[in-house]
Structure 1
Amino acid sequence: MMDGIAYIKLILALIVTSASVWMFIEVIRRRLAYLSFGVPVSWSRMKRPRLARVSKEVLLHKRLLNDVKSGVLHLFYFYGFIMLQLGAIDIMLQGLLEVPLIPWPSLYAVFIWSQEWIVVLVLLAVLLGAFRRYGERLKRLKRGAKPSIVYWFIGSLMLSVLLTLSFERLLHEQQLAERYSPFSSLLANGLEAAGVVVGSTAATVGYEVCWWLHLVILLSFLIYVPQSKHFHLIVAPINLWLRRDEPTGKLATLDLEDEQAESFGVGHIHQFNQKQLLDLYACVECGRCTEVCPAAATGKLLSPMHMIVKLRDHLTEQGAALTSKSPWLPKGIWEHPPHGIGDYRVGAHVMKTEDVRVENMTDLRTRDGAAGVDSGIATGGGNASDHQSPYCTDISLTMKKQAAGWTWNAQQPIGDLQLIGDVMTEEELWSCTTCRNCEEQCPVGNEHVDKIVDMRRHLVLMEGSLPSDAQRALQNIERQSNPWGISRSQRADWIADCYERTGIKVKTMKECEADQQAPELLLWAGSMASFDNRSRKLLYDLIRLLDHAEISFAVLGLEEKSSGDTARRIGNEMLFQELAQQNIETITHYGVKRIVTPCPHTYHTFKKEYADLGMPQHIEVLHHAELLDQLIAEKRLIPQFPVSEQITLHDSCYLGRYNDIYDAPRRILSSIPGVQLVEMKRSRDNAMCCGAGGGMMWMEEHSGTRVNYARTQQALDTNASVISTACPYCLTMMEDGVKALLEHENILTRDFAELLATSVLGDGTMPSGVHTIKSEERGANREGE
C-alpha cells in the first residue's frame, strides 16, 4: 500500500503533468487559431495513395535519406523517440506505483536491455548531430543558442534515464542480470564505488532527484516542442498527408472576375491559404532547400528556409496580436494570468537589409580557404569543392545576410508591418527561378514556389511594382506576344527560313484547313524558336526528324501566341489568362488532338495549367523528348551515324522536377553511336537550374554570381566535350555561360534533338555544311554560329 509520501508524490506528479499537458494543448490551440485566419481550403483527401506516400516520407525517411548522414541520424532520433516513450511510462510507473510496465520478468529484462541500448544510440546520434553542426559546420545549418537547445533537451533526457535506472538498481538491490542492463549496471557500479551504498538514503535521494529530473525534462520538452521548429514532430506528417492533389508545380488559377475580391495575390500573411500557413509550422529549418537554391547558392538574398521561418515568425506575431494571447507558455501565464491575455501590438521581427554588413563572396571563400562550395546534397552537404573556380556555388553569403537582417524591433508596431517589404523584400521575391529544387528536397512537404508567385502577383496586379526589365518583357508580350517586342507580323518568318535551310515546307493549320487536311500533330514552335536564331536551329532539326519519320504536322504560324508561362511566373495572372484563352480557342477551333513543343515551359503550362481555363482533356501534350523517344523505340528514327563525343546532359527544371521526365533525353542520347554520357554531380531531380525560369530569362541578376555561370561550371567540371540540353532557355543560358567562362577552348552546347538529327540524317543534309561533330571541327562550328 502507498504511504503518505507516495500519495504526495503521486499528486504532485499529476499536477505537474496536467499543467504541462494543458500548456502543450493550449499552445497548439493558439497556433491553430493563427492558421484559421488564412483563406479556407478543402481538407478532404483521398486516403489510400496518401497513406503509401506518407509512409515512405515519414516511416522510411525517403527524402531525409537524400543526405545519408543526416537521414540516418534522424532515423535514430525518430524511432528512438517513439520507443523511449514506453521507457518513460515504465519509469513513471516504477517511481509512483512500483509496478513495471511489463509484468513478465523475462520479457521485461529484454525490454530494459533494448531501452538502454536505444538511449545510448540516441546519445551518440545527438553527439554526431552536434558535430555536424559545430564541427563540420555545414553551411545550411544555423548555429547558436537556439538551435542547440534540442541537443541539451535530448541529451539530458537520455542521461536522466540512465541515472534513474542506475539509482533504481542501488535502491532496490535489483538482481536483474547485468547483461540485460549493461549501461545502468556500469553506472551503478561506479556510484557504489564512489560511496553510494545499496539501499542507503543517498541511493533514495539520488533516485528521487533523477526521477523528478527525468519527468521535468520530459514535460518541459513537451511544452517546448509546439513553440519551436520541433513542432514539425506533429505537423510534418499532417502536412505530408494534406499535400495538394494538383499536378506537380501547377499554380492556382485566380478568379479575376470575382467582384467581391478586394485584392489579388498575397500582400498580407492571412491572404495565404490555410495549407500554405500549415507549411510554416512544418518547417524543421534543416536548410536543405537553401542548400540547393540557385539564388542562395550564387550569393543572392533569397533563402527558401529563411523565407519560411520569417513567414512563420510573422504569422505567430500577427496571430498573437489578433487574438491578444501570448504565443508563448508559460511566459504568457506569468505575465497575464490566467489565460495569457495581454497587449501584443508592439514588438516584431523586421527584415533590415540596408544596415547589414557581411563579407562578399570572395572574402568568404578566402576566409574559408576554398574557392567555393558546391551546395548540392549530392556533393556532400555543402562543404568545399575540390577546385578553385570562382563560379562554384556557396550559400554562406546568403546565410549571413539573412541572419544579420532578420532582427527583433521592440518598438515596432505589429499593425504597421508590411508582408512585402518588412518581412519579405522585393529583392528576394525577384531572385526566384521557380526551379522547385527547394520543394524536391524538403522532407516535410513544404511548397515554396507558390508562395513566392502569390506575393509577386500582389506586387504586379495590385501595386504595379516589378523590375523594369520584367515590366518591359510583360509589355512586349502584351503588345506583340513575345518578350522582345518584335512585331507579331514576323512570328512566322521562320517558316520561309526553314524552307531555305532544309527544303521542308512547313504548313500552317490554316493552310491545312483550307486543303481539308488534318495533320496528326500540332508543332508549337514557341517564342524562342520563332524569334531567336539559335533556338531556330533546334526547331529546324526537330522538323527534319519529324519529316524523316513521316509524321504529318503543322504549325499555327501567325496565329500562335505566347504560352503565357513568363507572364504567369512573373505574376501577371491577367495577361496569362488572356493569352491562354486565346490559345485554347485557336487550338480547339482546329480540332487539335496532339501537341508537341520543344519548350518545357510551354509543355508544362499546356499540360497542367491550361485545363483550368478550358483546354479539352483529350488533347495530348508532348515534349519533343517524349515524341522522339517514342519514334526511336518504334524504329521510325534510327540513329546510325556516330557522334564521337563525351556528352553531359543538363536537366531542365520544367521537364524534370515539374514533369518527372529524366530518362527520355538520356535514352535518346544513349541510342546515338559513339556517345559517352557523363553525369554532373548535380543531375536529375537535384540538377541545378540554369537561371532562366520564373521569368528570370528576361531579368538581369544584380547581385552575386550569375546562375548560368555557376551551372555551366558544373557542366565543365565533367570534362565533357558537349553540353546537351532539353530546353531553348537552357540552351541559351548554357551557351552564354560557355562563351563567358571559356575564351579559347571550344565546348559545344546542343539540344539532344540536334545531336539526334546528326546521327539519324548524317552529313550533307543541311546546306550550311557538315553536321557530324568531330573534335577537330569544333572551332569551325563555333565560328559558324
Structure 2
Amino acid sequence: MDFRWIEWLLSLLCIGVSIYWFVIIVWRRFKYVQLGVPAASPDNRQGIKQALLQTFSQGKLWKDWRSGLMHLLLFYGFLHLQIGAIDLILIGLTDAHLPLPYYETFVVAQEWTVWLVLIAILYAGYRRYVEQLPRLKRSFKSGVVILFITSLMVSVIGTMLFERVITGNVSSPGSIIAVAAAAIHAPPILLVAGYKLFWWLHLLILLAFLLYVPQSKHFHLIVAPYNLVIQRPIQSIGKLHSLDLEAEDAESFGVGAIEGFSRNQLVDLYACVECGRCTQVCPAAATGKWLSPMHMITKLRDHLTEKGAAITSSSPWVPSLSTAYTVHQWHPDEEDVSSSTLQPLSLESPRGRSISQTMSRQQASWQGRYHYAALEKHAGHGVGKHKDPRELQLIGDVMSEAELWACTTCRNCEDQCPVGNEHVDKIIDMRRYLVLTEGELPADAKRAMTNIERQGNPWGLNRKDRMNWAVEWEQQDGIKVPTVKENPHFDYLLFVGSMGSYDRRSQRVMRDLVRLLQAADVSFAILGNEERSSGDTVRRLGNEFLYQELAQENIRLFEKYDVKRIVTACPHTYHTMKKEYRDYGMSESLMIYHHSELLWSLWKEGKLHLNHSIQEQVVWHDSCYLARYNDVVAEPRQLLQAVPGLTLLEMERSGKRAMCCGAGGGQMWMEETEGSRMNVARVEQALAVLPSVIGSACPYCLTMMEDGTKQLERPEVQTLDLAEIVARSVLGD
C-alpha cells in the first residue's frame, strides 16, 4: 500500500499551518508598530541603496572582522541553502530533484555550504559561551538560534548521507558525505527509516525556525533591511525632528507613552539584534551610569509588544492557547523586559533601592549593571503585581529618568549599530516630555536652562557683557575684532558662542582664531552683544520651545545683516546651524563652517603658512559632533600633519569611533553623580600613547580634557585647540 499521499498531506499541512502562523505573527507586530505616530515618507532612493549595500556586505559587522566573516558565511550560506531546502523537500515527496544544470556540482556545493555554516554557528557559540564577549548575553534564550541552526545543518547532513547510501551515489568528487556513505552497510528498511527521520527533522526544524524568528530578536532578519531603507539619509545624520508647538490638539509634547513614538522609531525596536555593540561603546555605560542603549531598545520593544497586544486584544505569541491577550505576571526568577539573564549583583539605584548581594559593584560587568538597574526599576513600580501593560508609565516603569539624563547624545551607539537603529532621538523625545509636559529635569540642567533663557548663556552672566572679551583684548593688545555694524561687507560671520564669549580658556582659542583669520586676510565680523545662544544645549536637554525661540532669533539676525557664511569653533553650534536651523527658515544658501574646516581650507589655498616648527607629540581627540555627526575627521589631521616638527598620534578609539568626552547632550552643565568621570576615562586613553599635547577642536572637549589632566595630576601634558596649535606654527608664538 502506498502511503505517499499521507506524507504529502502531513507535510503540506505542516507547511501551510506554519506559514499561516508566521503571517499572523508578523501581522500582529505590524499592528503594534501602527499604534505609533504616522511618519513622513522619506525619499527612499538613497535608503534602498544603503540598505542593499549594508545587507549584502554585512556593513558595520566588519568593524569586528571575526564577527563580520562569521555573519557573512551565515548570511550567504542560508541564501544558498534555501535552494537546497526546496530541492531536499521535493526529493522526499516526489523522488525527483530540481532540474538544475550540473546538478551533482550543485549538491557538492550545498554540502560544503552546510559545513561552512556549521563552522560559523559553532564559532558563534564559542564567542558567546567560551570566549564570553562582555557585550553578548549568555542565557539559554540567547543560544536558541545556535541550537536551531546546528540541528538544521545536522538534519541536512543526515538526509544527504542516507540519500547517497540509498541511491548508491557514493563516488562524487569533493564530497565528504559521499566518502562516509560508502562505508555504511545496512538493510534497506533501516536506510529508508534513517532518511525519513532526518528528512522530517529537517522540515520540522525549518518550520519551527520560521515561527521562532519573528517572535525573537531574530525578527531583525525580516525588519532590518526595511529599517535600513527608512533610516535618515547621510546628510541628516544626528538631526532632531522639530515639534509643532502650536498644534491646538496637542495634549502633551515629547513622548510619554510608547505609542507617542513615530512608526519609523518603533520599527527600530524590532530591528534590534541585541548584539551589544551600542552598549559596548556607550561612554555612559563604560563609566557606570544607569544607561545601556541596547537594554533601552529591548525594554521599549518588549513594552510595545505587551502594550500592543493588550490594546489589540491579541496574543503576541503564536501558537497560543488563546487569541485573547493575557497580562503577563512577572516573577523574580524570570527575565525582565531587558531580556537579560545574569546572576544577581550588588547594586544600588539612583533612588536608593537595593537588590540582593552576591557581588561587589566593582566586579559588575556593564551587562549586569544595566540588567539589574532595569530590573529594580520595574520591581519598584509594581511589575509582577499583575499590572496591565496599558497602565505602565513609559518614563518611570519602563525607562528611568536616570537613564535618560545619563546620555551624552554622542551617537556612538548609532554609529556602531549594524541595523540602523537610532537611539538618541528616542531619548531626546522622552526628555522633551519630561521638560515640556511634566516640567521635570535635574537641578543643574534647570539652572543652566534658566540662565540661557534669561541672559543667553548657561552661567547667567550679563548678556551685555558678551563682547567684553574683544573689548578687553583691544585695550590690552590693540587688536580690533570688528562687529557686523563696523564691517558690514564681511565675508564670514564669526559666531563666537557662549564658551568663546564668557569662558576664559575658550577666549584664548577665539583670540588665536581671530589672529589666524587676520593673517589669512579673511574679512569677518561678529554679532557682539546681539549674539544669542545657538540653542543646542537646551534642545538636547529637551526644551524645544526655548530652542525654537533662540533659533528664530538668530536666523532673523542672519537675515538682518545679510550673512552668507558662518564660521564657529563650537561643533555643537556648527551642527545645529548646519542641519537643524533650516527647519525654521534659514536660507539654504547660507553656508556653515567649523573653524577646523576653514583653517584647513585657508592652508590648502596657501593663505596660511605653517612656517614655524612645533616639537610636540599631539594626540588628537575627535569631537562627537564633528566626527560622527558631520564626518569632519580628515581635515584637522591633514592640517596637523603639515605642521613642521609635530608628530600626530592616534588613540585606540579615534575618528568616528572616538569616545565622548562627556560634555554633550547638556552634560557640560550637569554634575556626574554615578560611576566614574567620562572625561577622566577619555584622558586616560589619550595618555596611553604618551603625548605632550592633547589636541581637540571643541570648547567643551578642551575643557573636559583639561579638567581630566588636572584630576590625573598630569600638568606636563598640555590641552590645546587646533587654532592654538596652528597659530603657533603660523605666527611663531
- Normalising by structure 2, we get a TM-score of 0.94
Query: 1:696 is matched with which residue: 653, 664, 667?
Result: 667
Q: Quickly say closer, same or farther: Cα 1:360–1:728, change in 2 above 3 A.
A: farther
Q: Hey, what's the Cα distance between the residues in 2 that align with 1:462 and 1:400?
A: 29
Say whether 1:230 aligns with 2:203: no
The equivalences for 1:371-390 within 5 A come to: none
Percent identity at matched positions? Answer: 51
| Post-superposition offset of 1:495 | 1.0
Moved more, 249-258 or 403-412: 403-412
Cα distance in 2 between the residues matched to 1:751 and 1:92: 66
Distance 2:127 2:13 in 1: 39
Q: Secondary structure of the equivalent of 1:59?
A: helix
State the AA in 2 paired with 1:169.
R
Q: What's the counterpart of residue 343 of structure 2?
A: none
Q: CA deviation at 1:185?
A: 2.5
Distance in structure 1 (CA, Å) of the matches to 2:417 and 2:224: 11
Query: Retained in 2: the 8 A contact 1:350–1:422?
Result: no
The farther-off stretch of 313-322 and 52-61 is 52-61
Specify the alignment match of 1:506 in structure 2.
481
- The one-character-per-residue Cα deviations of 1:554-580 (angstroms, maximum 9, x if unpaired) are 111110011000000000000001111
| From 435, 438, 448, the counterpart of 1:460 | 435
Q: What displacement does 1:414 show?
A: 1.6
Quick one: distance in 2 between partners of 1:613 and 1:54? 30
The residue matched to 1:639 in structure 2 has which SS?
coil
Residue 24 of structure 2 corresponds to 26
Counterparts of 2:430 and 2:376, CA distance in 1: 23
Matched with 2:290 is 301
Residue number in structure 2 paired with 1:593: 564
- Give the residue type in structure 1 aligned to 2:27: R
Query: C-alpha separation between the residues in 1 aligned to 2:694 and 2:100?
Result: 68
Helix, strand or coil for the counterpart of 1:673?
coil
Are residue 36 (structure 1) and residue 11 (structure 2) matched?
no
Match of 1:272 in 2: 261
Change (3 A) 1:637 1:534: same
Does structure 1 conserve the Cα–Cα contact (< 8 Å) formed by 2:170 and 2:179? no
Deviation at 1:399, TM superposition (A): 5.4
Q: Is 1:648 matched up with 2:637?
A: no
Please tell me whether the aligned partners of residues 171 and 179 of structure 2 are also in contact (alpha carbons under 8 angstroms). Answer: no
Aligned to 2:241: 252
Matching of residue 519 in structure 1 with residue 490 in structure 2? yes
- Indicate yes or no: 2:545 matched with 1:574: yes
Match of 1:421 among 386, 392, 396: 396
Q: Tell me the residue number matched to 2:201.
A: 213
Q: 1:541 to 1:501 in 2, by over 3 A?
A: farther
Distance 1:658 1:99 in 2: 56
The alignment of Structure 1 onto Structure 2 pairs a total of residues equal to 712
Partners of 1:52 and 1:30 lie apart in 2 by: 29
Partner deviation per Cα, 1:524-544 (whole Å, 9 max, x = no partner): 100001000000000000001
* Selected match of 1:665 from 636, 641, 657: 636
CA RMSD between the two structures? 1.8
Find the aligned partners of 1:538 and 1:360 in 2 and give their Cα distance.
44
Q: Is the 8 A contact 2:70 2:124 kept in 1?
A: yes
1:603-614 correspondence to structure 2 within 5 Å: 603-614=574-585
Q: What does the per-residue CA deviation read over 1:51-99, in whole Å, with 9 as the maximum and x for residues that have no partner?
A: 3322221101121101101111000111111111111111101100001
Give the structure 2 partner of residue 90 of structure 1: 87
Match of 1:323 in 2: 312
Give, in whole Å, the separation in 1 of the partners of 2:566 and 2:28: 50
- Correspondent of 1:151 among 146, 160, 172: 146
Instruction: Find the counterpart in structure 2 of residue 164 from structure 1.
Output: 159
Letter aligned with residue 440 of structure 1: D
Q: Does residue 50 in structure 1 map to residue 54 in structure 2?
A: no
Residue 486 of structure 1 corresponds to: 461
1:188 paired with 2:158, answer: no
Contact 1:502 1:544 in 2 (8 A): no
Alignment CA distance shift 1:50-1:413 (3 Å) = closer
Letter paired with 2:547: F
CA distance in 1, matches of 2:161, 2:328: 50
Contact 1:491 1:531 in 2 (8 A): yes
Deviation of 1:420 after TM superposition, in Å, equals 0.4
How far does residue 511 in structure 1 lie from its aligned partner after superposition? 3.1
User: Aligned partners of 2:636 and 2:600: how far apart in 1?
Assistant: 8
Could you tell me how far 1:489 is from its partner in structure 2? Answer: 1.6
Contact 2:311 2:390 in 1 (8 A): no
- Measured in 1, the distance between the counterparts of 2:89 and 2:378 equals 42
Hey, what's the Cα distance between the residues in 2 that align with 1:191 and 1:404?
A: 58
Matched with 1:141 is 136
Shift of 1:361: 5.0
1:175 corresponds to which letter in structure 2? N
> Is contact 2:253-2:437 (8 Å) kept?
yes
Tell me if the contact between 2:662 and 2:668 (Cα under 8 Å) persists in the aligned partners.
Answer: yes
Assess if the C-alpha contact under 8 Å between 1:604 and 1:658 holds in 2.
yes
How many Å separate the matches in 2 of 1:204 and 1:447? 53
Shift of 1:487: 1.3
Partner letter of residue 431 of structure 1? Answer: A
- Matching residue within 607, 615, 629 for 1:636: 607
- Distance, in Å, in 2 between the alignment partners of 1:630 and 1:44 is 33
Q: What CA distance in whole angstroms lies between the structure 2 residues aligned with 1:11 and 1:593? A: 74
Q: How big is the shift at 1:716?
A: 0.5
- TM-score (structure 1 length as normaliser): 0.88
Map Cα deviations across residues 24-45 of structure 1 (whole Å, 9 max, x no partner): 0100000000011100013353
Q: Secondary structure at the match of 2:236?
A: coil
Which position in structure 1 is the counterpart of 2:63?
Answer: 66
Cα distance 1:68–1:59, how it changes in 2: closer, same or farther (>3 A)?
same
8 Å CA contact retained: 1:347, 1:413: no
* Structure 1 counterpart of 2:107, one-letter code: I
Matches of 1:509 and 1:139, distance apart in 2: 55
What one-letter code is carried by the residue in structure 2 that aligns with 1:657?
R
Give the counterpart letter for 1:604 in structure 2: H
Please state whether the residue corresponding to 1:420 is helix, strand or coil: coil
1:101 shift after superposition: 1.5
Note the 1:695-774 alignment, pairs <5 A. 695-743=666-714, 745-763=715-733
* Other structure's SS at 2:3 match: helix
- 1:531 correspondence with 2:524: no
User: What aligned pairs does 1:401-412 form with structure 2 within 5 A after superposition?
Assistant: 401-402=373-374, 409=384, 411-412=386-387
User: 2:252 is matched with which residue: 263, 283, 301?
Assistant: 263
- Whole-angstrom distance in 2 between the partners of 1:342 and 1:757: 68
Question: Is residue 158–residue 198 contact of structure 2 (8 Å, CA) maintained in 1?
Answer: yes
Aligned position for 2:2: 4
Q: Could you list the runs of 5+ residues in structure 2 that have no partner in the other structure?
A: 339-347
Query: Are the equivalent residues in 1 in contact too, given 2:74–2:117 (CA < 8 A)?
Result: yes
Give, in angstroms, the shift of residue 586 of structure 1. 1.0
Structure 1 position 662, deviation (Å): 0.4
Residues 611 and 234 of structure 1: is their aligned pair in 2 closer, same or farther, counting only changes over 3 Å?
same
